[in-house]
Structure 1
Amino acid sequence: MNEKQPKILVVRLSSLGDIVLSSPVYKNLKAKWPDSHITLLVKPQFAQVLAGHPDIDEIMVAKKGLWANIRQVRAGHFTHYLDLHSNLKSILIGFFSRIPNKLRYSKNPVARRLYVKFKKNSPVLEKHTLERYLETLKAWDVPVLYKNPQLGDWAYKHANLDGKKIGKIGIFQTSFIGDSVLTTPLIQKTAKLFPDAKIVVITRPQTEDIFRPMKEVDQIILNDKKGWNKIVGVWKTAQAIKEAGIDILLVPHRSFRSALIAWLSRVPIRIGFTSSEGWFLYTKTIPFNWMIHDAERNLSLLHGIVKENFKAEKLNMRYAPSAEENVARLMKDFNLEGKTLVGIHPGSAWPTKCWPFENFVELISRIETELHLQTVIVGGGKKDADLGEKLCQLSQGHCANLCGKTSLADLMALMGHFKLFITNDSGPMHIATAFGVPTLAIFGPTTRELGFFPYGHGHRVLEVKGLDCRPCALHGGKKCPHGHFKCMRLITVDDVFKNVKEMLQEHKVI
């Protein structure tokens, strides 16, 4: 193979996360040399997971001995050697490989050790590992056209059902409201890819209303996790899935319990994430990528069945017609008809995700008295209802407290009446974006990088940058682990109000 069509060996012998990050490297190499042959040398445990990348032509499994690796590399007759691992083993393989064109990325091990041991910072550490990967390509005059991992980068080959037609595909999501909302694009895309298959959703009774109105959903299996049902429900749900005759089960939820139910159901093809606590109970696992939105991460599970690059263009939600009737009644009862409404959700299942109560009081007052708009507080349950009542009493306006007065379906129907939605990081935030409501989200213990920010265009996230303690947990917690709660307290009412005005002006509301 000549210089114009090089045969490239890329070496990355580290963890799966590091390998997933390297994806843009192969895309850029293929963009420069479309007919090149790219081989990736990886550890044995990652070979199956990485075999479906559209820009990798071959996976070479690393052997135990150094000379065994050198011999197999020499046998490949490669023209280019790209070392993205940069340790003694990969350096020696490259040195003895007899490959004429060699590149090695610098991971600056000395600077990293000095920082960890003595907190001595260095400018070289400010660059992300992926940036350093891509900088390495400059020596081969490879233009950097792709800078981020894409949803379709890591894909399995088509699922093998031994010629059997796919009759039913199950989607297992028994997490929170927000997680359920972010699963709707997966349902929609699955139905489009397999129009002749029936879609079965396994979910909790609390989130049934999200999936029930979807035209793509043919059947719902409820998994109750309250009380004794958390234990008994494992076998009951597994049996229900088994009786449903599902051929393929997609599991966005990463808990061990979900993986166990999937395994007990004996569905022939069970696909979950590599980061799942029960990953070993799946027949196939898909790399979990923190660098993309959760809606797109969920979609990546489909790469266990098909090899296609796609993204979630919007969240997909519907509600029962009766919900619109209930909302119309509430609008009339609370004298909201004909007014410009701003929705506010001040609660969360996690206390540290809540912007301080007194800040919401002042914000509501300013929206009503300075902007002359009607605020509507939403939420579910008695706790939120009490919170909404106190907010209405203390704010200097006429806000409407609908907390505890709407079902999940009613909340979905209500969203279409809002011109702006202000919220903590929560399930209603995702419902608002699903219905195209401009959303201003306040993030404290969680960060955008976790992938649960408002999905789509026209939304904003307010968060404090530069706090080393963020994120302190995946979902937040009951109290700040450091006791200062700076992640929320440093976000001022002025900050939020400024963004409220700007968003309302952008959308020509004021």
Structure 2
Amino acid sequence: MKILVELPSWLGDAVMATPALENLFNRWPEAEITVTGSSLSIEALRAHPRITRCVTDRTKEGGWRPLQVYRLARELGPHDLAISFRSHLYSRLLLAWTGSAKRFLYRRIDSAAPAGESPHQVRRYVDFINALSGSDDSAGPLRLDWPTDKYERPTLGINPGASYGSAKRWYPEKFAELGAALASRFDLVIFGGPGELEIAADIEKELRRKGVENLSNLAGRTRIPELCSAIGGLDLFVTGDSGPMHIAAAYRVPTVAIFGPTKWWETSQWKNPYGRIVRHDLDCAPCMKRSCPLKHHKCMREIGSEEVLATIEELLQSEEFDS
């Protein structure tokens, strides 16, 4: 049997889809699996032993997109089962143009949540696979298969970026205050993508101004496999709601995540016993906006470094951490 899977485009969503993928792979254990998707999602999951073939979707990079989608579909070819974790028109066209016998496009299923609430995104993906396979599988932990780095000393990772927008970002001076307070116990590593070089540089500059020298800045210098390995080997991670947060959850890294404008119950770390959230209840939050529509950004601005530090201390002293 041949199965085609179009992965979610965002890094964090791709990682959150891994429990659903595990259920899919277990449902058809002998199937040949082809995955396609953005370079971010493909590189994150490429190391999985059940994936036979990876094809990066470059249909946005140039030319008339419908034609590019058609060419990708012909490259992928027909499969016995074609599944997309996306609901975009181009995903529908992609699956149809492969000529695959059975095709399923993602749609939100909120049946697992109490009335008036919404489930975690991991559960949505698992419900989607359950619906098409006729099963009732539960949602297991996140999974990534890249090996983890080994650090010489206890190491704290700082991830200030969030690709969704500025509203999800905590402030560089607060990250620096936090890092300086922990630098005597941890070496520091700053993470960030190509679009986050400035905020990472601001944090590094402020830390060095405070006399912190045991730090490195990896912003813009890691490919996705390297990012997974580097985060997976950390002893502690501080981050916003972001793709790297879900990478940390997949490796069960002790993590404190700072949430502001997004729905923490939908995108928090899935089944990470060492995960903690810092957030404030405000009438305007979660607004789900890329930038603060009220211009005050209180959901993040009012979270102080001392509050995050207290949550870290609680985590390091907890029974979950000791076990």
Instruction: Compute the displacement of 1:299 (Å).
Output: 1.6
Quickly say closer, same or farther: Cα 1:257–1:358, change in 2 above 3 A.
same
The amino acid across from 1:233 in the alignment is: Q
Matches within 5 A, 1:204-353: 204-228=38-62, 231=65, 232-241=67-76, 243=77, 245-275=78-108, 291-319=118-146, 337-349=151-163, 350-353=165-168
Counterpart position of 1:173 = 7
The Cα of 1:339 is off from its aligned counterpart by: 1.0
Is the Cα–Cα contact under 8 Å of residues 107 and 128 in structure 2 kept in the other structure?
no
Q: Distance in 1 between matches of 2:64 and 2:181?
A: 45
Q: Secondary structure at the match of 1:305?
A: helix
Q: Aligned partners of 1:230 and 1:294: how far apart in 2?
A: 32
Once the two structures are superposed, the pairs formed by residues 78-97 of structure 1 within 5 Å of their partners are none
Choose the corresponding residue for 1:391, options 199, 203, 208: 203
Shift of 1:428: 0.4
Pick the structure with greater CA Rg: 1
Q: What CA RMSD, in Å, does the superposition of the two structures yield over aligned residues? A: 2.2
- Rounded to whole Å, the distance in 1 between the matches of 2:274 and 2:152 is 24
Q: Is the alpha carbon distance of 1:269 and 1:470 closer, same or farther for their aligned partners in structure 2, counting shifts above 3 Å?
A: farther
CA gap 1:429/1:503 in 2 versus in 1, 3 angstroms: same
What's the TM-score once normalised by structure 1's chain length? Answer: 0.57
Query: Does the Cα contact within 8 Å between 1:173 and 1:202 map onto a contact in 2?
Result: yes
Tell me the distance in 2 between the aligned counterparts of 1:459 and 1:287: 24
Query: Is the contact between residue 83 and residue 95 of structure 2 (CA under 8 Å) also seen in structure 1?
Result: no
Q: Cα–Cα, structure 1 residues 272 and 415, in superposed 2: closer, same or farther, change >3 Å?
A: same
Specify the SS of the correspondent of 1:418: coil
- Give the C-alpha shift of residue 288 in structure 1: 7.2
1:487 to 299, 308, 314: 299
Q: For residues 431 and 260 of structure 1, do their structure 2 counterparts lie closer, same or farther at Cα, with a shift above 3 Å needed? A: same
Aligned-pair CA distance for 1:304: 3.2
Cα distance change, pair 274–384 in 1 and its aligned pair in 2 (3 A) = closer
Report the Cα offset of residue 480 of structure 1.
Answer: 0.8
Number of equivalent positions: 310
Contact in 1 for aligned 2:4/2:81 (Cα 8 Å): yes
Q: Which runs of 5+ in 1 are unaligned?
A: 1-166, 276-285, 329-336
Shift of 1:353: 0.8
Partner amino acid, structure 2, of 1:471: P
**Which digits, 9 at most, give the CA deviation of each residue in 1:38-94, with x for residues without a partner?**
xxxxxxxxxxxxxxxxxxxxxxxxxxxxxxxxxxxxxxxxxxxxxxxxxxxxxxxxx
The one-letter amino acid paired with 2:180 is S
| Cα offset, 1:431, TM superposition | 0.5
CA distance in 2, matches of 1:417, 1:312: 25
Distance of 1:288 and 1:351 partners within structure 2: 32
8 Å CA contact 2:110–2:124 kept in 1: the answer is no
Distance 2:75 2:131 in 1: 23
Q: Give me the whole-angstrom Cα distance separating, in 2, the residues matched to 1:387 and 1:412.
A: 21
Distance between the aligned counterparts of 1:497 and 1:210, measured in 2? 30
Deviation at 1:505, TM superposition (A): 1.9
1:238, CA displacement in angstroms? 2.4
Q: Secondary structure at the match of 2:256?
A: strand
Candidates 185, 188, 191, aligned match of 1:378:
191
Runs of 4+ in 1 over 4 A off after TM superposition: 286-290
CA separation in 2, counterparts of 1:343 and 1:239? 42
8 Å CA contact retained: 1:299, 1:312: yes
Q: CA deviation at 1:193?
A: 1.0
Q: CA offsets, 1:301-340, max 9 Å, x none?
A: 2223333322232111112x7xx6xx57xxxxxxxx4211
Quick one: which amino acid aligns to residue 345 of structure 1?
Answer: N
Asked if structure 1 preserves the Cα contact closer than 8 Å seen for 2:177 and 2:305, the reply is: yes
Q: Which structure has more RCO (C-alpha within 8 Å, separation ≥ 6)?
A: 2
Q: Is the 8 A contact 1:249 1:269 kept in 2?
A: yes
What residue number does 1:360 align with? Answer: 175
Instruction: Note the C-alpha offset of 1:176.
Output: 0.9
How far apart are the structure 2 equivalents of 1:274 and 1:314?
22
In structure 2, list runs of 5 or more residues that go unmatched: none
Q: Displacement, 1:287?
A: 5.6
CA contact (8 A) 2:23 2:137 kept: no
Question: 1:425 matched to which residue of 2?
Answer: 241
Secondary structure at the aligned position of 2:162 is classed as coil
CA contact (8 A) 1:176 1:427 kept: yes
Task: After superposition, give the CA deviation of every residue in 1:124-155 in whole Å (9 maximum; x if it has no partner).
Answer: xxxxxxxxxxxxxxxxxxxxxxxxxxxxxxxx
Q: Secondary structure at the match of 2:34?
A: strand
Separation in structure 2 between the aligned mates of residue 185 and residue 495 of structure 1, nearest angstrom: 32
The amino acid that maps onto 1:219 is R
**1:472 partner letter:** C
Q: Distance in 1 between matches of 2:37 and 2:48?
A: 14
Identity %: 27
Amino acid at match of 1:414: A
The Cα of 1:174 is off from its aligned counterpart by 4.2
Counterpart-to-counterpart distance in 2, 1:185 and 1:303: 11
Contact 1:342–1:373 (CA<8 Å) still a contact in 2? yes
Give the 3 Å change call, closer, same or farther, for CA 443–258 of structure 1 in structure 2.
Answer: same
